């Protein structure tokens, strides 16, 4: 791994002070790299993303983006610092139109907004057709596309996604992962949490296995996929033979 | 008779609508019932009175009982009441918000703020009533049997213009869009780079300004007294709840309906029960359509 873009070190965080869910987790993501967090429910994967996004307080630990400390910045400043975040649920404004969702996504932009809107529509043509519709009329897959497009409006250096393929049809899952791959190839760092761990690791460069708020294992995605212990415990049964 | 009641209802409804927008803003964006909102109407009316007592209400213009001076006083009251609303937030609500206070705690704090605000008005101006202007007006017969004062028509038209401007602001402006985003999800709004404190500040300033205009208009038809806002409190909440979630200015339609229902009911009900009407309406709304006119089912 080259010099990390994001490094979160010894993170202690949770939803109530003094009741941490993360007990000193550390992760790092390099530019152009896809990193997936796997682990059982309650391992603190989503909590880690929320702490990095500034939505919950970091009680101890240090988060740096491109070398500068962003540990105690409020959420809206973290967006400006270059991190895009796609929550798992309620990740689009259903009462706003597609166009308005993208505009709100570009809230921190000044004059560059129009160009970014055009770029978002070029990247996700399906959204362009429906730009005047309210987001609640979108299908699950389109909604996820909108959520990703919204997070990309600020051209973040790091995009974090919480369960980007939850509840999506298999064909749409491939589409979402394809978009993430293209994104990484353009130099953006991607950090995601996936229930669909096997498929996520296949598109990832590296992975972290978190258990009970601590690092358990980390390494190249292929190595995690191949690890019998990981496969049995966290990827749902024995590793399938390659077809 | 019914046409007259509807006309009167439309006029009181316009005033209720302007006041209810702020209630709806606090309900949807800050997620608590601000029972101190009615006092912003009162403060707006009295702040305008201070300006009028210096500059006078102006020479009657056309059929109206006042001149541009009263409008300037209303505009000044709108600005100052907006700042007052923001100040009350700084002193009371923001502290509680920072501690993640329960919505009920916020409601009790609002009751406290309302009491203080109302009694400061009494302290300064006493219990007696004031008038912006003592000009007498001839009612116009718009339709056979429907008489309205020119002032009332002016207020209605101005209220429509204000609501139209507000709608454009919420639909097209960056801040307006951020307010709608906040109303749906504060967490997601933050993740879009929206500064919650900034949106809340603008929400208070707008709510206070609209409340002040409602207060001035209520004071113009016909008098100002320390309970001018408080007497409208239930009507404001009935309008905001009828407007429901799902639209920040649904309260406008709610306000007009509440105003008309109130006046229509007086045709059959003893006027002594007038104060109870908004309460009855509120109960009816909660029974029949608790999510409001524009809200989806939760």
Residue B295 in domain: no
CB contact (8 A) between residue B180 and residue A80: no
Residue A240 has what DSSP assignment? P
CA angle B212, B213, B218 (to 5 degrees): 95
Residue B218 in domain: yes
CB contact (8 A) between residue A104 and residue B177: yes
Residue B259 in domain: yes
Tokens of A196: 């669909």
Tokens of B158: 């101005």
Distances (CA, A) of B272 to B265, B266, B268, B275: 12, 9, 12, 7
**Which residues in chain A are contacts of B185 at CB distance < 8 A?**
90, 93
Q: Which residue of A has its CA nearest to B295?
A: A95
Residue B125 to residue A195: CA distance in whole angstroms = 65
**Residues A192-232 pLDDT 10s:** 999 888 999 999 999 999 999 999 999 999 999 998 777 77
- Mean pLDDT calculated for residue range A179-186: 95
pTM of the model: 0.90
Query: In sequence order, what are the beta bridge partners of A189?
Result: A158
- The alpha-helical segments, DSSP class H, found in chain A are 45-53, 75-81, 98-105, 113-123, 125-129, 140-152, 170-185, 197-203, 221-226, 228-234
Name the residue among B177, B188, B196 with its Cβ closest to that of A91. B188
Residue A217 in domain: yes
Contact assessment for residue A11 and residue A47, using Cβ atoms and an 8 Å cutoff: no
CB contact (8 A) between residue A103 and residue B246: no
CATH value at residue B31: 1.10.3470
Residue B38 to residue A143: CA distance in whole angstroms = 40
Instruction: Specify the DSSP element, H or E, that contains A158.
Output: strand A158-162
Q: What pLDDT score does A91 carry?
A: 95
Residue B269 to residue A218: CA distance in whole angstroms = 76
Å between B101 CA and nearest CA of chain A: 14
Tell which B residues from 151 to 180 touch A, by Cβ distance under 8 Å. Answer: 174, 177-178, 180
Residue B153: phi and psi, rounded to 5, are: -65, -40
Half-sphere exposure of B134 (CA within 13 A, CB side): 3
Contact assessment for residue A200 and residue A178, using Cβ atoms and an 8 Å cutoff: no
Tell which A residues from 69 to 108 touch B, by Cβ distance under 8 Å. Answer: 74-76, 79-80, 85, 87, 90-96, 100, 103-105, 107-108
Contact assessment for residue A21 and residue A213, using Cβ atoms and an 8 Å cutoff: yes
CB contact (8 A) between residue A107 and residue B246: no
Residue B225 has what DSSP assignment? -
Q: What pLDDT score does A243 carry?
A: 41
Of the candidates A136, A131, A163, A145, the one whose C-alpha atom is nearest the C-alpha of residue A38 is: A163
Q: What pLDDT score does A242 carry?
A: 47
Burial environment of residue A182 by CB neighbours within 10 A (0 to 12, 13 to 18, 19 or more): exposed
Tokens of B12: 């009181």
Residue B214 to residue B163: CA distance in whole angstroms = 12
- Mean pLDDT calculated for residue range A229-239: 66
Q: What pLDDT score does B19 carry?
A: 96
CB contact (8 A) between residue A53 and residue B192: no
Residues 6 or more apart from B298 whose CB is under 8 A from it? B291
Residues 6 or more apart from A184 whose CB is under 8 A from it? A32, A33, A34, A190, A205
Contact assessment for residue A63 and residue A52, using Cβ atoms and an 8 Å cutoff: yes
Residue B195: phi and psi, rounded to 5, are: -85, 110
What is the Cα gyration radius of chain A?
17
Tokens of A233: 């415990």
Count of structural domains, chain B: 1
Residue B293 in domain: no
Query: In sequence order, what are the beta bridge partners of B153?
Result: none
In this predicted structure, the answer to whether residue A162 has a pLDDT above a threshold of 70 is yes
CB contact (8 A) between residue B190 and residue A108: no
Residue A105 to residue B35: CA distance in whole angstroms = 33
Contact assessment for residue B26 and residue B202, using Cβ atoms and an 8 Å cutoff: no
Q: Which residue of B has its CA nearest to A79?
A: B193
The position carrying tokens 């305008």 is B48
Give CA B246 to chain center in angstroms.
Answer: 19
Residue B66 in domain: yes
Name the residue among B192, B196, B246 with its Cβ closest to that of A104. B192
For testing contact with chain B, the best of A49, A76, A117 (most B CBs within 10 A)? A76
- The alpha-helical segments, DSSP class H, found in chain B are 2-25, 37-55, 68-88, 94-98, 103-125, 150-172, 174-184, 186-191, 196-220, 233-243, 250-265, 277-288
Residue A207 in domain: yes
Tokens of B10: 């439309």
Q: Which residue of B has its CA nearest to A150?
A: B192
Tokens of B121: 């008005």
Residue B298 in domain: no
Of the candidates B204, B232, B221, the one whose C-alpha atom is nearest the C-alpha of residue B79 is: B204
Residue B297 in domain: no
Residue B78 to residue B41: CA distance in whole angstroms = 10
In this predicted structure, the answer to whether residue A236 has a pLDDT above a threshold of 80 is no
Tokens of A131: 């730009």
What is the predicted ipTM?
0.90
Q: Report the relative pairing of strands B146-148 and B140-143 from DSSP bridges.
A: antiparallel
Residues 6 or more apart from A116 whose CB is under 8 A from it? A106, A109, A153, A154, A155
CATH value at residue A181: 3.40.50.300
Residue A151 in domain: no
**Residues B112-134 pLDDT 10s:** 999 999 999 999 999 999 999 88
Q: Which domain holds residue A52?
A: 6-89+156-234
| Confidence category of residue A1, pLDDT binned at 50, 70, 90 | low
Å between A75 CA and nearest CA of chain B: 6
Of the candidates B182, B226, B185, B187, the one whose C-alpha atom is nearest the C-alpha of residue B204 is: B182
Burial environment of residue B165 by CB neighbours within 10 A (0 to 12, 13 to 18, 19 or more): exposed
Residue B206 in domain: yes
Query: In sequence order, what are the beta bridge partners of B33?
Result: none
Count of structural domains, chain A: 1
**Which residues in chain B are contacts of A151 at CB distance < 8 A?**
191
- Which residues of chain B fall below pLDDT 70? 296-298
In this predicted structure, the answer to whether residue A53 has a pLDDT above a threshold of 80 is yes
């Amino acid at each position: 791994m080259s010099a990390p873009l994001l490094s979160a070190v010894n993170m202690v965080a949770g939803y109530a002070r003094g009741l941490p869910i993360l007990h000193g987790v550390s992760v790092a993501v390099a530019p152009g790299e896809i990193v997936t967090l796997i682990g059982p429910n309650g391992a603190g994967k989503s909590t880690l993303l929320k702490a990095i996004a500034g939505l919950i307080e970091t009680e101890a630990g240090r988060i740096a983006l491109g070398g500068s400390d962003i540990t105690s910045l409020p959420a809206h400043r973290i967006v400006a610092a270059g991190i895009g975040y796609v929550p798992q649920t309620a990740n689009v404004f259903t009462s706003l139109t597609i166009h308005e969702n993208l505009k709100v996504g570009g809230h921190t932009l000044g004059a560059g907004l129009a160009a970014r809107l055009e770029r978002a529509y070029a990247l996700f043509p399906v959204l362009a057709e429906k730009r005047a519709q309210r987001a609640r009329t979108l299908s699950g897959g389109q909604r996820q596309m909108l959520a990703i497009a919204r997070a990309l409006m600020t051209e973040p250096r790091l995009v974090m996604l919480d369960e980007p393929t939850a509840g999506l049809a298999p064909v749409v899952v491939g589409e979402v992962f394809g978009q993430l791959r293209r994104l990484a190839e353009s130099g953006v760092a991607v950090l995601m949490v996936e229930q669909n761990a096997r498929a996520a690791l296949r598109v990832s460069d590296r992975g972290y296995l978190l258990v009970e708020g601590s690092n358990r294992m980390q390494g190249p995605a292929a190595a995690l996929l191949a690890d019998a212990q990981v496969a049995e415990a966290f990827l749902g049964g024995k590793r399938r033979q390659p077809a | 008779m019914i046409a007259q009641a509807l006309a009167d209802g439309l006029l009181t409804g316009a005033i209720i609508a302007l006041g209810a927008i702020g209630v709806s803003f606090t309900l949807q964006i800050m997620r608590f019932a601000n029972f101190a909102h009615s006092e912003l109407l009162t403060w707006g009316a009295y702040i305008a009175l201070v300006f009028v007592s210096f500059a006078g209400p102006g020479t009657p213009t056309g059929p109206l009982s006042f001149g541009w001076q009263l409008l300037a006083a209303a505009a000044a009251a709108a600005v100052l009441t907006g700042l007052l609303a923001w100040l009350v937030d700084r002193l009371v609500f923001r502290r509680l918000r920072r501690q993640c206070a329960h919505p009920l705690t916020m409601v009790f704090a609002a009751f406290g703020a309302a009491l203080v605000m109302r009694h400061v008005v009494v302290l300064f101006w006493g219990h007696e009533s004031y008038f912006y202007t003592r000009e007498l007006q001839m009612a116009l017969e718009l339709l056979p049997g429907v008489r309205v004062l020119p002032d009332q028509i002016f207020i209605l038209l101005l209220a429509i213009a204000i609501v139209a401007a507000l709608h454009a602001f919420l639909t097209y402006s960056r801040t307006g869009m951020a307010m709608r985003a906040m109303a749906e999800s504060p967490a997601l709004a933050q993740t879009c780079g929206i500064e919650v404190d900034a949106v809340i500040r603008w929400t208070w300033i707008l709510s206070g300004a609209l409340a002040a205009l409602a207060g001035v208009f209520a004071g113009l038809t016909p008098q100002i007294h320390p309970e001018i806002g408080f007497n409208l409190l239930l009507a404001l909440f009935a309008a905001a709840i009828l407007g429901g979630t799902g639209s920040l200015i649904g309260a406008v339609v709610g306000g007009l309906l509440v105003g008309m229902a109130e006046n229509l009911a007086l045709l059959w009900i003893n006027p002594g029960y007038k104060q109870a009407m908004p309460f009855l309406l509120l109960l009816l709304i909660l029974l029949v359509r608790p999510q409001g006119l524009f809200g989806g089912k939760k």
